[in-house]
Structure 1
Amino acid sequence: MKKCIPLLLLLPALAGTAQVKEPAGRQLVQEIKNNEYFAFVKNKALEVMKTGFNAGDGYREVWIRDYNTFIELAAQVNPKEVLKENLLVFFRMQGDDGNIIDGFTPAEKIGKGETDFSYSKLEPRYAGHKNTVETDQETSLVQAVYRYIQLTGDKTILQEKIGDKTVAERLEFSMDFLMNHRYNKQYGLIIGATTADWGDVQPEHGWGVDLDANTHPAIDIYDNAMFIVALNNLMDILPASRQKWQPVRNRLMQNSMKHLWDKKEQKFIPHIYLKGSPFPAGFDENKIYYFGGTTVAIEAGLLSKAQIKASLDEMVKRVKLAGAASIGLTLYPPYPEGYFANKIMNPVYSYQNGGDWTWFGARMIQQLIKHGFVKEAYEQIQPMVKRVKDNNGFYEWYSVDNKPRGSGTFRGEAGVLYTAIVMLENLKK
């Protein structure tokens, strides 16, 4: 029988140097050990992960931005060959310009009249889809390959030949795509469409997931922080690439703080607009706090320990103002009703416009643990694990009054929560 990979092997990379100080730490360690929800959540996560790789019940695709966040969980119930094959599909379907698709689905499941799909001779089994308003598919794939190697120790994936390029070459090709097609020289940062923080819905007409003539291009912290994390990962697994990418990474870090960090408010501004804002004149968008982008910025190493604590305090404050349950809140205050044409973003506190997503909230928990805020991490994870048991499963997002919404068996939530719990349970005592 093929072996799965214990998450314990990845813990040194995940937990960093976080330790629990004595004597208060001894009590906290005991609380973690005896937590009434942790065992239930972990077991439920493993059950969910055994049933497939699509994002959740409401999705047929395997999405790279989701897979990147549950690959550690997937490794607990799947052999490395399965993890590897999923990653290779994305490389086989890579665009001629280096871009990476969002997700793939079996070609035979595509109905008549469905045209928003791409196909590749290198991977005839699947159809690919890409929400072009995002700029995180390429960076998510680099991060997922990095996690795969950390989990399995299998660096041979880098030498796999896909068409005329190795995986290693295709990883850099995907980063080249961002520099060639999504890089703004004026600010030295990458761009995307205007979305709500890490979201994939633009305000303009229609479904809102494709770049078009109505798009308002913008720069935000989420896309750039994801790029920084990806470059750090890339240089780790491909040391020879450091000469090319380290200067790029350094500029991204400097420019992210120079142009996106509001020193006075101690927060990231939502957007820098390149061709005007899609929102009404007089709307003060900078009143909105982006939870997810801030979390990834912490992962990218952009904020000091003091700034991390200030960010957490601001998140907690705004969660209370919203009346929400957890720091998984996407943003606060939400965009006013009607600011997004897509009905899923209305009314306020709906979907990515103020919905509560453990998918990002638990990533903040992981960052708190890594940076030594263990007590705070334990406190903030409680509402997230409690609602898993209360609802007997994982849901895509939660309403402001903590009711489950969206896709069930949402594997992204299961993955990030599972990892966060294991990090807490295995802290140095």
Structure 2
Amino acid sequence: MNIRGAVVLCFVSLFSFEIAYGQLSLSADAAKKVEAIMPLADSVKHMAERLIKSGFTAGDGYGEVWIRDLNTFMNVACKVNDKAAIRKHLLTFFQFQQPDGGILDGYVPNPKGSGVPYNYYHSKLAPEYAGHKNTVETDQETSLVQAVAKYIRSTGDKSILQDTVASGTVQKHLEEAMQFLLKHRFSEKYGLIWGATTADWGDVQPEHSWGVEIDADTHKAIDIYDNAMFVIAINDYLGFTSVSGKERKYWSDVRGKLKTNIRKHLWDKSRQKFVPHIYLNGSPFPASLDESAIYYHGGTTIAIEAGLLSKAEVKAAYLKMQENVKAANAATIGLTIYPVYPAGTFKNKGMGPYSYQNGGDWTWFGGRTVSELIRYDLIPEACEALEPMLLRVIKNKGFYEWYTPDNRPQGSSSFRGEAGVLWTAITAMQAKTKK
């Protein structure tokens, strides 16, 4: 008997009873799908809790606490870790905040660094750490706002907003972080924020053999991921702060304009997808590449989370993702993009076709897609998408950073981002389908 079958037989009768009295009205077929998958999901959920309890770095091979990763396992961290430790890690990001409001990617204990040649910088407020920023990204500030929101929602501890760092409150520093995006990463022409050209949500630009820092060769571009992350951050900021009516109106107006301009400039109505990039100073790719045909799975998911698509568009996006999975011979909707960028378009050798962020399969985003399907009550689709992700965690006895199209695990073998998004999706499924 296979792993899934053995687990299901142990728990199926109990879970059938729970579905019958659950909060969501499910069809018989949908109920069977949930009934079959949830015992397996429960095993993975416990695995995730054990991993997250062991630390806050992204995973083995990483010395840093990264904000884009921490944001995605904050919910489970608040369940299994000491609240004071979580709070300390969050406050450390503010201790490294730059005078312009910018937030770093991650920090690592001194003096050894991580063995990676980042341009480290230091803070007198946290002398035990060295920090760095991948400047090609435009999601560090929004990830921190979202992480604080998750911390508050999970713990009920709003007092962190009044903690003082460098003579300013955390709430003030959050507002300054969002202002950084409007002052230093904003295109007046399009009314949207920009970053370097990357593959979807990635952190590698094509112009250099490593590609993590903006320089004279960078091609600045607007994409859906960065802007959707900003919309979510504003939603969160207005949700957990007590601000004046004037400030609330200001940020509500910023959000409204972002949403309008996203649909105006980034949504391709004829193809029913987001365009990969709007370039501000030309494209780094050859004219022979039809980039407009590339579908960005991760950015689309974050757009769904930001409320930028209707339920019908969400369903259509999911079906397109599954169509891409089939065409790529991939394993799950965590497939980053399809079709992929051809060999040689990225100088970083790790960005070849179907590798890393260029068509690698990342549960780190696929799991978030599942959460959104659940939020829109697309339960059969959520089960279909979630099952192969759960099965490979059990098969590999752990959470890996990403997978090849033939489902071979790659990167960190204890990737907390994958564990975090699966835990969140499973918890959402349980809440939706049972009392």
Range of TM-score over shorter length:
over 0.9
Task: Give CA-to-partner distance per residue, 1:215-272, whole Å, 9 cap, x none.
Answer: 0000000000000000000011124141221100000000001000000000000000
Residues in 2 aligned to 1:206 and 1:23: alpha-carbon distance in whole angstroms: 53
Tell me what 2:332 maps to: 326
Query: Any conservation in 1 of the 2:190–2:261 contact (CA below 8 Å)?
Result: yes
20 and 376 in structure 1: CA distance in 2 versus 1, 3 angstrom threshold: farther
Matched, 1:234 2:205: no
Residues in 2 aligned to 1:112 and 1:25: alpha-carbon distance in whole angstroms: 49
Tell me what 1:313 maps to: 319
Residues in 1 aligned to 2:27 and 2:205: alpha-carbon distance in whole angstroms: 48
Residues in 1 aligned to 2:306 and 2:325: alpha-carbon distance in whole angstroms: 24
Task: Specify which of 242, 252, 262 is matched with residue 246 of structure 1.
Answer: 252
**Normalised by the size of structure 2, how large is the TM-score?**
0.92
Task: Specify which of 362, 377, 389 is matched with residue 357 of structure 1.
Answer: 362
Tell me what 2:343 maps to: 337
**2:300 partner amino acid:** T
3-state SS in 1 of match to 2:411 = strand
3-state SS in 2 of match to 1:233 = helix
Query: Any conservation in 2 of the 1:32–1:425 contact (CA below 8 Å)?
Result: no
**1:354 partner amino acid:** G
Where do 1:67-82 residues align within 5 Å? 67-82=70-85
The alpha carbon displacement at 1:206 in A equals 2.8
Matched, 1:379 2:363: no
Say how many residue pairs are matched.
410
The alpha carbon displacement at 1:205 in A equals 1.6
Matched, 1:165 2:168: yes
Query: Any conservation in 2 of the 1:216–1:273 contact (CA below 8 Å)?
Result: yes
Matched, 1:40 2:43: yes
Task: Specify which of 149, 172, 177 is matched with residue 174 of structure 1.
Answer: 177
Task: Specify which of 112, 120, 125 is matched with residue 123 of structure 2.
Answer: 120
3-state SS in 1 of match to 2:391 = helix
Tell me what 2:269 maps to: 263
The alpha carbon displacement at 1:50 in A equals 2.2
Residues in 1 aligned to 2:324 and 2:191: alpha-carbon distance in whole angstroms: 31
Task: Specify which of 124, 147, 167 is matched with residue 150 of structure 2.
Answer: 147
Task: Specify which of 416, 426, 433 is matched with residue 421 of structure 1.
Answer: 426
The alpha carbon displacement at 1:23 in A equals 4.1
Where do 1:130-141 residues align within 5 Å? 130-141=133-144
57 and 168 in structure 1: CA distance in 2 versus 1, 3 angstrom threshold: same
Residues in 1 aligned to 2:33 and 2:416: alpha-carbon distance in whole angstroms: 28
**1:352 partner amino acid:** Q
3-state SS in 2 of match to 1:218 = strand
112 and 313 in structure 1: CA distance in 2 versus 1, 3 angstrom threshold: closer
249 and 39 in structure 1: CA distance in 2 versus 1, 3 angstrom threshold: same
Residues in 2 aligned to 1:115 and 1:140: alpha-carbon distance in whole angstroms: 20
Residues in 2 aligned to 1:18 and 1:234: alpha-carbon distance in whole angstroms: 29
Query: Any conservation in 2 of the 1:18–1:369 contact (CA below 8 Å)?
Result: no
The alpha carbon displacement at 1:123 in A equals 1.3
Structure 2: gaps spanning 5 or more residues: 1-21
Percent identity for Structure 1 against Structure 2: 56
3-state SS in 1 of match to 2:410 = strand
18 and 309 in structure 1: CA distance in 2 versus 1, 3 angstrom threshold: farther
The alpha carbon displacement at 1:39 in A equals 2.7
Residues in 1 aligned to 2:385 and 2:375: alpha-carbon distance in whole angstroms: 15
Residues in 2 aligned to 1:60 and 1:159: alpha-carbon distance in whole angstroms: 29
Where do 1:263-282 residues align within 5 Å? 263-282=269-288
The alpha carbon displacement at 1:358 in A equals 0.1
The alpha carbon displacement at 1:323 in A equals 0.2
Tell me what 2:8 maps to: none
**Normalised by the size of structure 1, how large is the TM-score?**
0.93
The alpha carbon displacement at 1:107 in A equals 1.6
Deviation larger for 108-117 or 155-164: 108-117
